[in-house]
Amino acid sequence: MSDLFNPTEEHKVLREMVRSFAEREVAPQAEHHDREERFNIELFKKLGELGLLGVTAPEQFGGSGMDATAAAIVHEELAAADPGFCLAYLAHSMLFVNNLAVNGNDDQRSRYLPGACSGELIGGMCMSEPNAGTDVLGMGSVARRDGDDYILNGQKMWITNGAVSEGELGDVFLVYAREEGGDRAVSLFLVEKGMEGFSLGQKITGKLGMRASTTAELVFEDVRVPAANLVGKPGSAVRSMMRNLAIERVTLAAMSVGIARRSVEIMNRYGAEREAFGEPINRFGQIQRHIAESYAEYMAGRSYLYKVAGDLSLDAFGSRADSDGVKLYCSTMGKNVADRAIQVLGGYGYVAEYDVERLWRDAKLLEIGGGTNEAHQKNITRDLSKVERLL
């Protein structure tokens, strides 16, 4: 019988490598960078040395040329150690690198992907705005053609890797904007740090969780973007947006699975070691329920995740019902499992020493970012309305 979670030897070796790195180098720094609300750039660049920053990008452009299952493995393992750090990785490797690898032309790939895969460049993607989140087609950012350039105006909000430090922009972004006069037609542009009019509005602090990844508002004021930086055809970016949302949601689900696994491990170990009334607390039914239900839900989510990832082709749309469905299920599952871990640990679960309070805080974002749970419910119901029988 094949291993659903490691379908090939290459996947198994990848998991072993990433888990070893995560336990050795990512986990020890997690609490400090969460407390400081600081992105660990030095550690991030080590992911480039391991070939992880371009895990799904073609080898000819500096990537590792692997599949959606590999991406899920990396995100599960990194998130089990530090979800905040993993979120910065996701924004770079999936929302920028994979997006450009699938939707860009060879000139664009040659210009940006080698640096992004090595860690020389830190990238991100700009979709959400102060007044446009789930309704992405209601965005107000506008691009106007001006000779051989486009003039870009607007604001983007909640951008992961938008700032890599207190006052420094990330290096390069894929930015969605409406074509002026094109109604709801959306185009996609490569915008670099240093382009006149492109600036950091604010680095957002005081977040509930995911504090080790930086979140920012970005401002575009008459930014002159060369037409060569248009990704795909004018007004055609909705298709590339939807295609990349599939792998984004799968990898966000993988993060939830990583959070759940770490939470189960912590409560399982604590339940065996902690004694009350003369015996380990895992002998008591209340604690057994928390541990057993958490394990069962984690395994259900993990199985769903790797089934969806295994079926997903990175250059196709896949099943929206399942890319939405796996994130819908796993995001709430991960949060609930982390919550139970806090309950099992009691007062110790409420402080940073045992990690589960941070995992719980980080888990909440996954019900919001990359599509809210309510948006997934809408999408799934809409897609299922066209189906009479499930296979």
Among candidates 141, 147, 229, which has minimal Cα distance to 185? 141
Whose tokens are 């019900």? That residue is 367
Phi, psi of 265 (to 5 degrees): -60, -45
Q: Write down the catalytic residue from 248, 297, 357, 367.
A: 248
- Would residue 221 show up in a list of annotated catalytic residues for this protein? no
Q: Residue 193 class from Cβ within 10 Å (0-12 exposed, 13-18 middle, 19+ buried)? A: middle
Sign of dihedral through CA atoms 161, 164, 168, 173? negative
Report how many helices (DSSP H) and strands (DSSP E) the chain contains, helices first.
12, 10
Among candidates 309, 297, 307, 305, which has minimal Cα distance to 335? 297
Contact 231, 174 (CB under 8 A): yes
**Distance of alpha carbon 73 from alpha carbon 15, whole angstroms:** 6
Contact 16, 32 (CB under 8 A): no
Q: Could you give the residue numbers annotated as active site? A: 248
